[in-house]
Every structure is written in C-alpha cells, then in structure tokens.
Amino acid sequence: MGLKVYADRMSQPSRAIIIFCKMNQIDFEEVRIDISKGQHRTPEFEKINPMKQVPAIIDGRFKLFESHAILRYLACSFPSVSDHWYPNDLTSRAKIDSILDWHHANLRRGAMTYVFNSALAPALGFSLNAQAAEEGKKLLSSSLLKIKSFWLKGNSRFLLGNAQPSIADLSLVCELMQLEVVDSEERQRVLEPHQEIRDWMENVKRATHPHFLEVHGILYKVKARLESRRNRVSPKL
C-alpha cells in the first residue's frame, strides 16, 4: 500500500504537498477531501487525521498531518528527492526550518485571514468580515516586507539566496497564490509594491512547471466564479 495524500486543492498546504510529490516523482494516490462539502468532518476522515484538517498522509501504516512535517518527512524518506528541497547540511536545513516556523503566525495567518474574510468565507458557509480582513491584510503586508528585506535580499532567486527552491519557497508561494481569489484590483494593490515578491513567485512557478500551474487549476476556477459573482453584485460601469 503506497503513499496516500488526503488533500483539497483549495487548501494552500495541500497544493504544496501535491506539487512536491509530482516534482520529485513520488508515487502517490491523491484522495480528495472537499472542505466546502464538510468531508473533513466525517468519522472516516477523523480516523486519518483527528484534527480534521487537510493535508494528511498515510504511508503504509504511518499517518501524519501538518504540511511542514509532511514535507520534511517526504524529503527525508524518498531517495528521489533532490537535496535542495531540504538540504542535508545542518545550517542550511535550520534556516529553512526557521522560515517554515515563522510562516505559521505571520504570512499564513495574515494571508489566510485576509483571503477568508474578504473573499472565500461565503463558499464555506460563513460571512465576510471587513474588519478581520483588514487586520489580516496588515499582517500580510508586514510579512511580505520581512520576506523581501531579509530572505530575498540582493537578487535572490529563491529564499535565503538559494539557486534552487526549497520546501520553504513552495510552502510560502502556495500560500500567496490564494490571493488569486481576492478582487483583482485589491490583489494588485497588495502585491504592486513588492517587485521582489512577484519575481520570486514567478521563479517558483517556473521551477515547478508544469505541476504548479496544473495543481492551481481549481484556484483559477474558483477565482472566475467569485469574480463573476462580484460583478453581478456590482457590475463595473
């Protein structure tokens, strides 16, 4: 029984795992858990992940959740994974760990709060919340500044000045892709001051082509649906 990845491609960390596996020729079965249909709350899925969240994996009899733990495990367990994703060198590895840890309470929290409360909430049965969205946006913007000034300084192609992407690049850029579902002009205003961020996102997309585009397909569909709904509500004159 091979590797199973329980995922919803609308979930940023789910996408990171799927892209990582495809890039590294890791054989896996993708099991779709549709969050918008509450499939993460079924008793069957609770046996896979008692925290009722995606992504989660089963490798043989070994179950694991939390995307960063999963990415580390896959990088260390599968010999086909190139070293640059999660280097064996301890100091290089530690610096990637540092970014992955920082991510939770910073970029992830900011971006997720902003996107959920300004765009995605209705798709999951909740209402929008402009105040919460604004707080999220502040944290998102300050996180982008920190990434830019610290981890992308100089002419860095990838975080930490690396020449090739690591699991930190993949995780953080998948998070930022979620901004696609926000109103386009809003999204442009958020990203416009950050040339280095936009360049970095392009670098990651190119380095993980064609899987990045393919895995993000669902996001563009949802983006189109939400945009058409927004235009119906307030057609642009």
With binding defined as CB under 8 A, does residue 66 bind its own copies? Answer: yes
- 110/133 Cα distance (integer angstroms): 9
Output the smallest distance, CB 59 to its own copies, in A.
Answer: 8
Region of 3 (left: φ > 0; alpha: ψ -120 to 50; beta: rest) is beta
Contact 19, 81 (CB under 8 A): no
Give the residue, chosen from 2, 38, 50, 161, that forms a contact with its own copies under the rule CB under 8 A: 50
Length of the chain: 237
Strands ordered across the beta sheet of 56-59: 28-32, 3-7, 56-59, 62-65
Per rule CB under 8 A, count of chain residues that contact its own copies: 31
Written as six digits, the tokens of 144 are 């982008």
Written as six digits, the tokens of 211 are 């899987």
With binding defined as CB under 8 A, does residue 157 bind its own copies? Answer: no
If you search the block for the tokens 């590294």, which residue do you land on? 24
Question: Given the rule CB under 8 A, which of 14-22, 62-70, 174-182, 187-195 is the region that contacts its own copies?
Answer: 62-70
Give the residue, chosen from 41, 76, 221, 228, that forms a contact with its own copies under the rule CB under 8 A: 76
With binding defined as CB under 8 A, does residue 1 bind its own copies? Answer: no
Give the residue, chosen from 36, 42, 98, 231, that forms a contact with its own copies under the rule CB under 8 A: 98
With binding defined as CB under 8 A, does residue 145 bind its own copies? Answer: no
Give me the residues that bind its own copies (CB under 8 A), please. Answer: 50-51, 62, 64-70, 72-73, 76-77, 90-91, 93-95, 97-98, 100-102, 104-105, 108-109, 146, 149-150
